[in-house]
A and B are shown apart, each in its own frame.
Chain A
Amino acid sequence: MSTTSLARGVGTNAARRTPAARLQDWLPRLVVAPSFAVSLFFVYGFMIWTFILSLTNSRMLPQYDFVGFAQYARLMVNERWWVASTNLVIFGGLFVVICLVIGAGLAILLDQRIRQEGVLRTVYLYPMALSLIVTGVVWKWLLNPSLGIESMVRGWGFESFQFDWLVDSDMAIYTLVLAAVWQASGFVMALFLAGLRGIDDNILKAAQLDGASLPRVYWRVVMPCLRPVVFSAVMILSHIAIKSFDLVMALTGGGPGYATDLPATFMYAHAFTRAQIGLGSASAMLMLGAVLAILVPYLFSELRGRKHG
């Protein structure tokens, strides 16, 4: 659809020009076209395909016997789906908030002319470099009551110390939060630090001359300047939360029971190990809906901000 509008745009003002100039007009579009076509096919085409599958009763492999919205109805009465959705709200909410608090806190502290800032920054940032398949191996170990932190602290003489979240179905979801925060909060710190470095020193000096205390300066003057950063961070973090998959697989496998199931693992389990591609596709569509709900406001601000600049 957009190719036709492109063609029209070109047709009107390129008619009277030399072929070389016309090529120049076309070039930007030609350059973007392959990537765009690829996106159309691999993102939107696949989404449509998934939507079609969600209307069928496909089991082991895709089939096209349409059953209307029956899969969505089944999803709505599926208890595990609700556990997964609730988990996403708990996990996503805590993950985003804690990452923001830690990230902003560390960035502000790091911005106080700290010696060895580079080293500390690298230490905070490195978890982002690791695959969750890698960190899952070690987190699983640390959180395992009989191998990890619990037994270590008990070994130090605190016999009654308990840290068995991993095996407690009410607490296991918080182990996911812990590992995810560990992974991503350093990245948020980097975003905030970048934002802080972008703020004009004079604003701060002026505020200080007015006699405002340091925390007050940060809260009243700096934070408002960092709103775009907060916004970007929330977007990045929420999409990490929605896409969280490796983390669950590597750390808890969705267990105990299905206490730490998330929509992404729910979808995977049903589409790939349970031969319920129809149901899995329906859950995928709902996930995509959630992504859209987050993305649309982001895009609005992105594009509006662009026009201002």
Chain B
Amino acid sequence: MNVLKPSLLKKAIGGLAIAASLGGTAHAGEVEVLHWWTSGGEARAVGMLKELMEKEGHSWKDFAVAGGAGDSAMTVLKSRAVSGNPPTAAQINGPEIQEWGELGLLGQLDSVAEQGNWDVLLPGVLSNMMKYDGHYVAVPVNVHRVNWLWANPKVLKEAGVEMPTTWEEMFAAGKKIREAGYTPLAHGGQPWQDATVFETVVLGTGGPEFYRKALVELDPEALKSDTMIQSLETFKRLRELMDDGMSGRDWNMATSMVINGDAAMQLMGDWAKGEFAAADMTAGEDYLCAPAPGTENAFVFNTDSFAMFRVSDEDARAAQQDLARLILEPEFQEAFNKVKGSIPARPDVDMSEFDKCGQQSMEDFKESRQEDTLLPSMAHRMALKSDVQGAIFDVITNYFNSSDMTAEQAAERLVNTANAAM
């Protein structure tokens, strides 16, 4: 059954395509989109894009691969690229776009970009990320902020604590929450989640300049500084606030601990908001958001983007261009990002319909652009190439889970990793 449907669909669409080309209007093509947006909020968000594409007469072939925060999807993508049969578009983020560009596998989006005036529209950090060799090869969908703290107000109230604004407050609050019988901090023991918490702690402890030096430029001096050691110690201490069952837990399972009132808080990017929204909760009432302790003046971003592969089929190329155009249209940006929890990639979208957390995110985004505290997320492959980032992950997650590694030893290893990468 499942196998019949798409082929029938294909025939129908083939018919449509002929009709359309006879009419001399738009070409109807098929886009196969590889992504790893499978959880509730994510799936709803990507569903909107599908609808829009279908409204334009194209067909959408969804290739969602769950697991490992995109690791499995990347394996599929590589195996398809090697076999010479890449999907039309794939979710590829950050510096990896450059790596795919270097391989000569990506197609150009320059004409769409010119029509849409992307150069003016997009913040410089984003537009640079989307270009390879001066040409647009990818299109940004959103901007996520990573350094958020989420909380369940009911649990906070019961424990008699406020939203913490420093790490010390966080630990003090954690103690009370624990006494009240809740898990203070929901977490999932996966390397990328460990790294997300780590980079937030580094930012909160050392500030934006230190973050940039340590985690973006991998400056050995910064990596072995006292500030780094202090960050590592704070990071490890956060374990006290977590529960035993975190091993291998998915991030959205940790979020649902906060939603269900089993846990008080979670340090996670604003994709968590998609889960809160899917549970029909209202920002500011049913759940709280605040910049993670000590990070209110900075914005660690993680932007999702779709890279377009070079395709020979004329209709598919047309569909690709339409997909890229649709993604950046205000209508989609607004609808999608409200569901996904992020803010639009183009800052000119009307934010009045967004919730409080979203509005704050947009303000902070604009402000941090001016103050130059807009930072790429290390944990989400925005800052480093995947091999270096992987090696850093190894150190962080090993330190976090090891009973005998000291902060000094971990810092030493970070320095070694950085030196090996240079």
A residues in contact (CB < 8 Å) with B? 59-62, 74, 79-80, 140, 144-147, 164, 166-167, 169-170, 252-253, 255-259, 268-270, 272-276
Contact = CB atoms under 8 A, between A and B. Distances in A.
B402 A257 contact: yes
Contacts, number: 94
B245 A272 contact: no
A166 B247 contact: yes
Interface centre among A166, A167, A273 (most CB of B within 10 A): A273
B397 A257 contact: yes
Contact of A255 (B71, B103, B399, B401): B401
B401 A169 contact: yes
A167 B247 contact: yes
A272 B71 contact: yes
Given A60-B99, A272-B75, A253 B190 contact: yes
A45 to B, nearest CB: 15
Contacts of B189: 167, 255-256
Contact of A273 (B75, B190, B403, B420): B75
A270 B398 CA distance: 17
A243 B74 CA distance: 22
B254 to A, nearest CB: 13
Nearest to A146: B245
Contacts of B68: 253, 273
Interface residues of B, number: 35
B29 interface: no
Contact of B402 (A169, A269, A270): A169
A253 B403 contact: no
The 4 A-B pairs with the shortest beta carbon distances in the complex, nearest first, are A146-B245, A256-B401, A257-B401, A257-B398
A165 to B, nearest CB: 10
A107 B338 CA distance: 62
A61 B99 CA distance: 9
Given A167-B189, A272-B74, A61 B401 contact: no
Contacts of B285: none
Interface string B85-113: 00000000000100110110000000000
B246 interface: yes
A4 B403 CA distance: 61
27 contacts: A60-B96, A60-B100, A60-B386, A61-B78, A62-B82, A144-B245, A164-B244, A167-B245, A167-B246, A167-B247, A169-B398, A169-B403, A253-B190, A255-B190, A255-B248, A255-B397, A256-B397, A257-B394, A258-B394, A258-B397, A259-B398, A259-B401, A268-B75, A269-B390, A272-B71, A274-B386, A275-B386
B244 A274 contact: no
Contact of A144 (B103, B247, B403): B247
A269 B96 CA distance: 16
B248 A60 contact: no
B180 interface: no
Nearest to A274: B390
B386 A146 contact: no
Contact of B71 (A79, A256, A257, A273): A273
B172 interface: no
B385 interface: yes
A302 B392 CA distance: 47
A80 B247 contact: no
A255 B243 CA distance: 16
B398 A258 contact: yes
Contact of B248 (A164, A253, A270, A274): A253
B313 interface: no
Nearest to B402: A169
Interface string B105-138: 0000000000000000000000000000000000
Contacts of B399: 257
Interface in B230-275: 243-248
A61 B74 contact: no
B387 A274 contact: yes
Interface string B382-416: 00011100100010011111110000000001000
B65 to A, nearest CB: 12
Nearest to A162: B244
Contact of B103 (A61, A167, A257): A61
A232 to B, nearest CB: 33
B33 to A, nearest CB: 20
B81 interface: yes
A269 B191 CA distance: 12
Given A145-B245, A255-B191, A258-B397, A170 B403 contact: yes
A54 B397 CA distance: 27
A59 B387 contact: yes
B248 A140 contact: yes
A80 B78 contact: no
A256 to B, nearest CB: 4
A273 B413 CA distance: 21
A140 B189 CA distance: 13
B247 A275 contact: no
A277 to B, nearest CB: 9
